[in-house]
Amino acid sequence: MPRSPPAPQNVGTPRQDAPSAPTVPLPRKSPNPTIPKQTCRSPFKKLLEENHDLLPFTTVVLGYHLSGTATFNLDPPRAVWKIGSLKVPAAPYVFVVSAVIAVFGFNLLVRVGSHRANLLLGIALALAVTAFLTWATADKSLSLVGLLQATVVRAVPIAFGGLAGVLCERVGIVNIGIEGMMLAGAFTGAVVGSLVGGYGGLLAATFVGGLIGLLLAVLTVKFLLDHIIAGVIINMLVLGLTSYAASQVLVRNPDLNHASIFRAIDIPFLSQIPLIGPIIFSQNIFVYAALVMLASATYYLFHTRFGLRARSVGEYPRAADTLGIDVLRTRTVHVVLGGMVAGFGGAWFTLGAVGQFDANMTAGRGFIGLAAMIFGRWHPMGVLAAAMVFGFADTLQQKLIILQTPVPSDFLAMAPYIATIVVVAGLVGRARAPAADGHNYVKA
């Protein structure tokens, strides 16, 4: 007779011959247990809480051996109405601003919503800049009007580059070739301006920029080439042609590289307004043209039916085509307009600044214009604000060299590009590009 299988043992019961595990007494539960509220602390707040000695250390380092008074002149050289000078005690101001930024700035930035965080970030950066200027100007004098006036001038090419990008990307064309368009405008403005005068050079630069924009439109709209590749091709092509022409033609014929510069135009009465007048109403033609173009582009894109059609092409070209909008023609026209704006802005380097052309003299301003476009959320007025930020960083580098600050000039030369990284890295994740940006369209 077969043996019956053994009865299954209880898996959860230990064997009798195995040593029993030591028992650990559990804590007694209170009658009414209270569960502590879980809080989500950001790394910035945790750092400030765990390192409460960081604030005194920071303020002491920033104000170490700092004394004297920073003097900011608020009057231009030929001012009719005088304001005087603003004198700021250097050490107390740096201490106060450092405390405000360290204690309230980061703590608020990590707790509030994104829109308020951006506002607070702007305020904190502005306070930091004023503290740095006060530190650099201690026992010295700085013309605040001259600083802001130069900021507006240096923001002009960036604003033109950003506006060119807005006009192209609002219809779905990524324009990486802005740098090449501006470089071609600078070269043409110098040569034609030397032959027929400044206004002729300005018109020629605008026309050449439009031709290069037409080339970009043909490559991307007609032949459906990748937008990034097409832009890089244009940049390399223009850089090679202008560098060769500058070394082989302009060096041998210096008369072709000696254009007249547009001087500042004082608007009657408005240019005499204290502080604001010299900054805005005593500039050259490029500043006034930039303000007019940015305002006109804002009205065109957001307050006219043609602008609505252009934006619809950049958002949903298939639906726009269904409604009877010629998508290909709309894209071509706006890319050509963007090229004309970039060529006009490129003429600033030769007809508004130095009067002669040098190889690669745009020095990446077209790419910074693209960063200004992203920072400005593809809006002309946003481009203006971003261009002012970049222009201020560029001007600050020049002024601090004159003030002979202990900061090396090589680090100061990086200021515009550091500002570019900061503003783009801080806002690019929240800005939304047009939905069809960078996508080729084939008519069904």
Please indicate, yes or no, if residue 90 is contained in any of the structural domains. Answer: yes
* Mean pLDDT of all residues in 160-176: 97
376-406: pLDDT as tens digits: 889 999 999 999 988 988 888 888 888 887 7
Strands (E), 227-373: 265-266, 282-283
Predicted pLDDT at 95: 86
Final residue in a domain of this structure, among 139, 163, 181: 139
Same domain, 151 and 106: no
Please say whether the beta carbons of 187 and 246 come within 8 A.
yes
Looking at the structure, tell me whether residues 177 and 85 fall in a common domain: no
Whether 211 and 356 share a structural domain:
yes
CB-CB contact of 152 with 278 (8 Å) = no
Higher-confidence residue of 194 and 11: namely: 194
Tens digit of pLDDT for each residue in 88-103? Answer: 888 888 888 888 777 6
In-domain check, residue 34: no
Q: What percent of the chain has pLDDT over 90?
A: 52
160 and 133 share one domain: no
- Read off the pLDDT band of 317 (50, 70, 90): very high
The CATH number of the domain holding residue 222 is 1.10.3470
**Coil, strand or helix: which one is 72?**
strand
Let me know if residue 433 belongs to a domain.
no
Indicate if 206 and 240 belong to the same structural domain. Answer: yes
Angle, CA of 276, 279 and 282, to the nearest 5°: 110
91 and 164 assigned to the same domain: no
* Rounded average pLDDT over 312-319: 96
The domain containing residue 49 runs over which residues?
43-139
Contact status, residue 170 vs residue 434, Cβ threshold 8 Å: yes
- Across the range 260-275, mean pLDDT stands at 89
Q: Identify whether 442 is part of a domain.
A: no
User: Using N-to-C axis directions, what is the helix angle for 144-169 and 178-196, rounded to 10°?
Assistant: 120
Average pLDDT of 157-176? 97
Is the pTM value of this prediction over 0.85?
Answer: no
Q: What is the mean pLDDT of residues 172-185?
A: 97
pLDDT (tens digit per residue) in 14-73:
444 444 444 545 444 444 444 444 444 444 444 444 444 444 444 545 555 566 788 888
pLDDT at 426: 60
Of 115, 139, 163, the position where a domain reaches its end is: 139
Q: Is the predicted pLDDT of residue 221 greater than 90, yes or no?
A: yes
Pick from 20-29, 47-56, 246-255, 351-360: least confident: 47-56
CA distance 247 to 270: 44
Q: Would you tell me the crossing angle of helices 178-196 and 327-349 to the nearest 10 degrees? A: 60
Tally of domains in the chain: 2
| Co-location of 236 and 117 in the same domain | no
In the predicted model, is pLDDT for residue 276 greater than 90? no
pLDDT score at 63: 54
Residues 300 and 260 reside in one and the same domain = yes
Residues 186 and 94 grouped into a single domain: no
Do both 131 and 211 map to the same domain?
A: no
Q: Would you give the DSSP letter of residue 226?
A: -
pLDDT at 18 (0 to 100): 45
In a domain, residue 398? The reply is yes
Instruction: State the chain's mean pLDDT as an integer.
Output: 82
Distance CA 62, CA 92 (A): 11
- Nearest CA to 207 out of 110, 9, 347 is that of 347
What is the spatial distance between Cα 335 and Cα 331, in angstroms, rounded to a whole number?
Answer: 6
Least confident window among 55-64, 304-313, 435-444: 55-64
pLDDT at residue 430 in the model: 60
> Is 324 in contact with 331 (CB distance < 8 Å)?
no
Identify the residue with better confidence: 135 or 412: 135
183 plus 120 within the same structural domain: no
> What is the mean predicted confidence (pLDDT) over 141-169?
94
pLDDT value of residue 375 = 84
Across residues 251-273, what is the average pLDDT?
91
Residue where a domain terminates, one of 139, 163, 196: 139
371 pLDDT above the threshold of 70: yes
pLDDT the model gives residue 384: 96
Please tell me the distance from the alpha carbon of residue 439 to that of residue 444, in angstroms, as a whole number: 15
State whether 153 and 127 are in the same domain.
Answer: no
